[in-house]
Chain A
């Protein structure tokens, strides 16, 4: 059982890696949410699995070129019940992405549904079609 538990946690939730010597202040674990990133001609979409988080508990902030996503998930409390078997831990989420120059910083949209955060990062107009004509010298 212990072996399968280890494999599960490895496969499903990954704790945030901190630089050596930096520790988490609270007991609550912090996980790196899984992400899907896809691109079209007009935008880049990032989808993150944040089970337990909603629009109230997710923070998306942009500082310089770094887009940071934080989600807070409270520990579940079930009145009259005790946790007897556990394969996954509940904790907060944290992940950051560096944006490329082509993203229009003022048009970023974020929505949460069914525990999935969807970030639509539109490309700036001038970045969408940047064809450089090549002339003969």
Chain B
């Protein structure tokens, strides 16, 4: 392949350049085709009494989302439904379909006090730390 380029010092470079671009193209297509990414992306805020998990879930109603808590594990499940069918699609970039995301938190969640709100397509879950999980202060006495 490369020996052909010996006559012209630039031909070899061109060959390498072409190969490199082909590889780049293959990898960028591979990137786009990996559809099963982690969804939704989350941000976690930590406070003295627990944590707040937020996620961007545009186009969903609160009824489409199911939140469950077991011990220190939070699971967010949902399904973003596609409304239109008999139309010509020109572009489809928005994510649709079912998703599940599980997060392990560093503390036991008080499941009775978990609150979730969906506002402007942003889900915010308030996860209070269970009372028995909170650190206790042990008084130090002089002996």
Chain A residues engaging chain B, CB cutoff 8 angstroms = 4, 7-13, 34-40, 44-45, 47, 49-54, 76, 78, 80-88, 114-116
Chain B's closest residue to A113 (CB) is B59
Q: Which residues of B lie under 8 Å from residue A9 when comparing CB positions?
A: 41
Chain B residues engaging chain A, CB cutoff 8 angstroms = 31, 37-48, 51-52, 54, 56-61, 84, 87-95, 118, 120-122
Chain A's closest residue to B86 (CB) is A40
Smallest CB–CB gap between B115 and chain A, Å?
Answer: 13
Contact call B93/A36, Cβ cutoff below 8 A:
yes
Contact call B91/A50, Cβ cutoff below 8 A:
no
Q: Which residues of A lie under 8 Å from residue B54 when comparing CB positions?
A: 76
Contact call A50/B58, Cβ cutoff below 8 A:
yes
Q: Which residues of B lie under 8 Å from residue A114 when comparing CB positions?
A: 58-61, 118, 120-121
Contact of B89 among A8, A38, A52, A85 (CB under 8 A): A38
Answer whether A39 and B88 are a contact pair too, CB < 8 Å, given A8-B37, A115-B58, A115-B121.
yes
Contact call A51/B89, Cβ cutoff below 8 A:
no
Q: How far is the CA of A84 from the CA of B31 in the complex (A)?
A: 28
Smallest CB–CB gap between B49 and chain A, Å?
Answer: 8
Contact call B45/A83, Cβ cutoff below 8 A:
yes
